[in-house]
Structure 1
Amino acid sequence: MSEQFDRIHSHIEAIANAMPDPIFVMGQDGTYLDVIGGSDRSLYADGHPLIGKKYHDVLPEKMADRFLKIVRKSIASNTLQEIEYQLADDEVNGIESERANEGQWYEARVYPLNSDVYDQPAVIWLAINITSRKHMEEQIEHLSSNDPLTELFNRDYFLGIVDEEVNKARLNNRPLSMAKINLDCFKRITDAFGHEMGDKAILIAAHAIKNVVGDLGYIGRLSCDQFMFVLPDVKSVDAFRITKLAQETISAQKIKLDDGETTCLTSHAGVTEMRLETENSQDLFKRVNKAIKALEGTREITKVM
């Protein structure tokens, strides 16, 4: 009977240690009590050196606090707890790893261990590396919010940002300005030299606007040749200067055409500022478009309204 028990035990141990994902046994007092599995070294560092050590001795303080809270919550409620966290191997004292030390994402399922074998209440902590999934989610989110050509915010996502910033400005009684830049010669370039040259023109304009606006606000590409940016905490007089500089930066760039000639991009722009607490983003949109419309037949290229 003893021999049969030992054989069963060795089989279970072999199977457990072969598991690619690690199971940590975590004590209520904040100690790593045991480590089972985690054999996939491409996804996990060897956690066995952590056995007997306190969370606060090996983890960043905030992470250790979070782990201890989850462990004690699972024990107290006798229920499954789930947690996602990001942790790099070099943030954990006492383990060695040959993997790149960028932060890895993990999903842990934490469940109380109904046994007194560890001489204190404990949980099993199944950690699963979900870094690939997180990167895919980030890519999907990026694609859903960004224009694929310019990397600026796409129309729908940008308009959502504008609504949020207008609400913030209204609640905090802070200034907010909006500017719209329409390129004048995009259609002529596309008709004469094709969409590839048109894309080049759009990229030049987008890069120029990003260089000027920087961290001052948010930029969106509304359509083929229309750009808009919203500037929180900026009054219209300063937004006008920023917009003029963006237009000058755009027009300073030379585009080499297929016939060996060069051309530059010209633009018209409207600028406005939030004036009343009752105003919303649509009121600002209407004013910047009205400002651009008012430039027709004049020599001006920028107008505040």
Structure 2
Amino acid sequence: MTDTTFFTASQYEAICASLPDPTFILTETGRYAAILGGKDKRYYHDGSSLVGKYIADVLVASKTDWFLQQIRDTLARQQMLVVEYELSAHDVLGLPTDGPVDAIWFEGRITALDQPCCGERAVVWVASNITASKRLQQQLQQQAMNDELTGLHNRRRFMQVLEEAYAAFQRQATPTWLISFDVDHFKAINDDLGHPAGDQALRDLAGMVQQAAAAEDLVCRLGGDEFALLCPVRSLAEVTALAQRLLHGGRQVLQPYATGEPAPTLSIGIAHFLAQDRSTEDILRRADQALYLSKTQGGHQMSTTGCAQE
């Protein structure tokens, strides 16, 4: 028969103090009743000074409200709640404004205590630093949505945002435009100067487009020498002016890659979201038709098809 070993009170205290992740005992009003563990100094500072204070004494109002809501939800459900959250220097009261602002990400596991603490209902909140895994996740997501060559958004991101813009247009009829363009005679750059030169031409073109576009525009490389801009809340005159800047800027940045005539330029197709559109395919088709029209008319021009303001 195996003897049952019981830890002494001091041993339990030592075990709790040695926990690598900090464990907070938080009351319903947000008081720090106790803090256990947090001994992994790679990730955590000594939080013992928080005991007796309230969350509102430590964090800005928006963060305080969020933490208190998680405590209330846990107490109401009587089930463990798992949440992810970030904290930066801007969220903590009393820190210098010129300090580090990089956010630290945590996973919080919150459970209700069976007995009151300090005369209140309370929860146990275990905070695990997940910053490294969160940053890796964000990096992978960015890579999945960005074009490796130019740094612009890629086709996957474009299709995602196009669907979102179409749904918003259906709800609110927000004026939205799709500008599609590619490089006239791009094959000559690759054939005469080599693919490295072709790649650099695309990077130069991407930089020009980013400068010409507004902050709210989505700039994408769809593949090869094909690009697209999604432009919300614009008039036809504004979109036309943007297209003119692209035509002029495209000719300038591509001129060093000209190996003869005709020189590389841009052909542009413009489509406006319409009430009768049944899917994003209708919008894409009109933009492609407009781009094809620019091509067949000799390139270095813009065309529109099926636009409400025509």
Same fold? TM cut 0.5: yes
| Contact 1:17–1:39 under 8 Å retained in 2 | yes
| Range moving further from structure 2, 151-160 or 99-108 | 99-108
Q: Which runs of 5+ in 2 are unaligned?
A: 306-310
CA distance in 2, matches of 1:100, 1:174: 39
Aligned partner of residue 253 in structure 1, secondary structure:
helix
Q: How many angstroms does 1:16 deviate by?
A: 2.2
The residue that corresponds to 1:277 in the other structure is 276
- Show CA shifts across 1:59-83 (max 9, x none): 1112212222222332343321222
Q: For residues 25 and 194 of structure 1, do their structure 2 counterparts lie closer, same or farther at Cα, with a shift above 3 Å needed?
A: same
CA distance in 1, matches of 2:105, 2:292: 50
Q: How many angstroms does 1:118 deviate by?
A: 4.4
- Show CA shifts across 1:231-274 (max 9, x none): 112233321221120121122126656x9x9x974111111223
Aligned partner of residue 188 in structure 1, secondary structure:
helix
The residue that corresponds to 2:212 in the other structure is 212
Q: Over aligned residues, Cα RMSD in angstroms?
A: 2.8
CA distance in 2, matches of 1:167, 1:237: 24
The residue that corresponds to 2:290 in the other structure is 291
Letter in 2 for 1:284: I
Aligned partner of residue 180 in structure 2, secondary structure:
strand
Q: For residues 14 and 100 of structure 1, do their structure 2 counterparts lie closer, same or farther at Cα, with a shift above 3 Å needed?
A: farther
Q: How many angstroms does 1:186 deviate by?
A: 2.3
- Show CA shifts across 1:86-120 (max 9, x none): 11256334799xx9442211111111223456443
Q: Which runs of 5+ in 1 are unaligned?
A: none
CA distance in 2, matches of 1:290, 1:66: 50
CA distance in 1, matches of 2:90, 2:181: 47
The residue that corresponds to 1:266 in the other structure is 265
The residue that corresponds to 2:231 in the other structure is 231
The residue that corresponds to 1:135 in the other structure is 135
Letter in 1 for 2:84: E
CA distance in 2, matches of 1:116, 1:274: 59
Letter in 1 for 2:281: Q
| Contact 1:47–1:95 under 8 Å retained in 2 | no
The residue that corresponds to 2:198 in the other structure is 198
CA distance in 2, matches of 1:242, 1:216: 13
CA distance in 2, matches of 1:282, 1:298: 26
Corresponding residue pairs, total? 296
**Structure 2 length-normalised TM:** 0.85
Q: For residues 277 and 235 of structure 1, do their structure 2 counterparts lie closer, same or farther at Cα, with a shift above 3 Å needed?
A: farther
The residue that corresponds to 2:78 in the other structure is 78
The residue that corresponds to 2:308 in the other structure is none
Q: How many angstroms does 1:201 deviate by?
A: 0.6
**Structure 1 length-normalised TM:** 0.86
Aligned partner of residue 215 in structure 1, secondary structure:
coil
| Contact 2:184–2:299 under 8 Å retained in 1 | no
| Contact 2:272–2:283 under 8 Å retained in 1 | yes
Q: How many angstroms does 1:165 deviate by?
A: 1.1
Q: For residues 137 and 264 of structure 1, do their structure 2 counterparts lie closer, same or farther at Cα, with a shift above 3 Å needed?
A: farther
Q: For residues 239 and 111 of structure 1, do their structure 2 counterparts lie closer, same or farther at Cα, with a shift above 3 Å needed?
A: same
| Contact 2:31–2:54 under 8 Å retained in 1 | yes
| Range moving further from structure 2, 282-291 or 120-129 | 282-291
- Show CA shifts across 1:121-162 (max 9, x none): 222110001111111111121112111111222112202211
| Contact 2:210–2:219 under 8 Å retained in 1 | yes
Q: How many angstroms does 1:84 deviate by?
A: 1.6
Asked if residue 160 in structure 1 is aligned to residue 160 in structure 2, the reply is yes
Aligned partner of residue 247 in structure 1, secondary structure:
helix
The residue that corresponds to 2:183 in the other structure is 183
Q: How does 1:92-111 map to 2 (within 5 A)?
A: 92-93=92-93, 100-111=100-111
Q: Percent identity?
A: 26
Q: How many angstroms does 1:279 deviate by?
A: 4.8
